[in-house]
Amino acid sequence: MKHLSIWAVILSCLATPAVGDELYLLAGSKFNGTVIMWGQEDITFVLKGTTINESFDISVKSISQIILSDNTIHVPGEDSWIASGGLSQEQLAGLGLLGQPSNNITRFEEKGTAGLISPAKIMATRNPFAVDLSLKKMSGYTDYHIEIVEGYITWQSILAFPLDGNKLTVQASYLKHPFKDPKKDLSFELLYARYMTDPKEAMVDSDYGVYEAGSFTEKWVWSATKSTAKASINEISAKTLIGMDLGNNIYGALILGYRYLKCSYDIFGIDGWQQPEYGGEIYSFDVYQNYNVLDYRISYHLPLAGIKLDIGMTDNVMIAGELLWHPMSNVNDFDDHILRKKTAVSQCHGGGWGASISTKILAGHLKKAEIFVGAGFEMTRVSTTGEQQQTFYGDDPGTTDIDETGLSYTDIDNSINLKQQAIGFFMETRF
């Protein structure tokens, strides 16, 4: 915090400034006002139309150049840069910059996509570009649940496909200061992620019927199986963030964006049991272990809106959190029961939410780049409903009394759900 007495030091090698200095940041932003104090690491700047009560301490590392009202140009790191000095109280008064006594000088440092305008050095950067590389341990399932009503019995099937594995994520981001208020910023994030391993968890399939007559209800599970899953899972997301310094080392942002998740499964083997007749004999089996018995494809289209909150704990440590809402989400899936020569297609609609929390630490520097490391946890939940259509493209070998080729069933109630969580480690480089 700087006191008024410091400003009694008169600038050396500088003509008396007047309102009309131009401040240019490396991120491309320009601000009009007055430089009231110079330094090797920081300057103090008053925006045009304000007083010293709203002045900003700005990191020299964030500055491209300063053009004073006398048209002299001053560039950090060059001989033209003024190492120290400041306006006297008389000069401040003459420029009309004195307000009521205040300690409300704000620290302003150019931030990268990590997201904080604060006194914390962790937020300082010489360039608005950032690249994040992360490895995440994933878990969860994507499942669909169909229901067919026949009289007093509702026949139901649940198929769940695993989402566990190791996911590699690359994210690029870019920050701008297009607003007149230097506390506000605009940033863009683009992410691509891919699972590097197949799931270890099984794909599971359960079939059952629920009999309801008046107050009497009974459930009969007549089949339960598990299979091995090989998967190709990819994700793309894009976000736009409008952020603002909230003071006290806290940065907040509004988020708008879109997330696309595509999962492709090849399912092998059937291990489980069946009870073809109610109360009858139960048959166990473990067959087709090297045979592709089912293919499944599903894509999630998830618009997103939310909030971001970053808190600078120390000069080198930050805690970040996001809360997202997925309105008007759409899901498309395709299921090929290869053994039964039957396909199932669905379109479902609904919504969901997501949340994440992470800790970021400034680990060091590499030439002009800053290196950050961190760890975090995230989760996503999506629930949708719609209808499924089943079509036989051949005769089901499991039946002998009818040839199902070309037979189609429509308007089958279906719900598709996503439950996904991750714990991961990441490294961020800001150039």
CATH, residue 259: 2.40.128.90
Task: Give the span between the Cα atoms of 315 and 359, in whole angstroms.
Answer: 13
To the nearest 10°, report the CA torsion of 398, 404, 407, 411: -20
Phi and psi at 325, nearest 5°, equal: -120, 135
Residue 422 lies in a domain: yes
Please indicate, yes or no, whether residues 99 and 141 belong to a single structural domain of this protein: no
Please indicate, yes or no, whether residues 57 and 166 belong to a single structural domain of this protein: no
For residue 104, what pLDDT is reported?
44
Residue 308 lies in a domain: yes
Task: Give the span between the Cα atoms of 81 and 380, in whole angstroms.
Answer: 50
Please indicate, yes or no, whether residues 158 and 286 belong to a single structural domain of this protein: yes
Task: Give the span between the Cα atoms of 122 and 129, in whole angstroms.
Answer: 15
Domain count, the chain: 2
Q: What is the pLDDT of residues 385-395, one digit of tens each?
A: 999 999 999 99
> Is 54 in a helix, a strand, or coil?
helix
Residue 113 lies in a domain: no
For residue 118, what pLDDT is reported?
41
Domain range for 70 is 4-108
For residue 4, what pLDDT is reported?
35
Residue 116 lies in a domain: no
Residue 215 lies in a domain: yes
Residue 153 lies in a domain: yes
For residue 54, what pLDDT is reported?
73
For residue 141, what pLDDT is reported?
98
CA 416 to chain centre: 22
Residue 304 lies in a domain: yes
Please indicate, yes or no, whether residues 81 and 213 belong to a single structural domain of this protein: no
Please indicate, yes or no, whether residues 267 and 290 belong to a single structural domain of this protein: yes
Q: In which residue ranges of the chain is pLDDT below 50? A: 1-19, 101-126
Please indicate, yes or no, whether residues 346 and 373 belong to a single structural domain of this protein: yes
To the nearest 10°, report the CA torsion of 102, 103, 109, 115: -100
Q: Give strand pairing partners of 374.
A: 360, 426
For residue 28, what pLDDT is reported?
65
Please indicate, yes or no, whether residues 49 and 172 belong to a single structural domain of this protein: no
Please indicate, yes or no, whether residues 40 and 138 belong to a single structural domain of this protein: no
Residue 154 lies in a domain: yes
Please indicate, yes or no, whether residues 173 and 252 belong to a single structural domain of this protein: yes
Write 93-99 long-range contacts (CB < 8 A, 24+): 95/18, 95/19, 95/34, 96/19, 96/51, 97/19, 97/34, 97/36, 97/46, 97/51, 97/52, 98/51, 98/52, 99/51, 99/52, 99/53, 99/54
Task: Give the span between the Cα atoms of 386 and 143, in whole angstroms.
Answer: 13
Q: 108, 137, 152 — which closes off a domain?
A: 108
For residue 127, what pLDDT is reported?
53
Q: 62, 82, 108 — which closes off a domain?
A: 108
Please indicate, yes or no, whether residues 147 and 21 belong to a single structural domain of this protein: no
Q: What is the average pLDDT score of the chain?
A: 86
Please indicate, yes or no, whether residues 163 and 16 belong to a single structural domain of this protein: no
Task: Give the span between the Cα atoms of 227 and 206, in whole angstroms.
Answer: 12
Please indicate, yes or no, whether residues 276 and 416 belong to a single structural domain of this protein: yes
Q: 73, 108, 143 — which closes off a domain?
A: 108
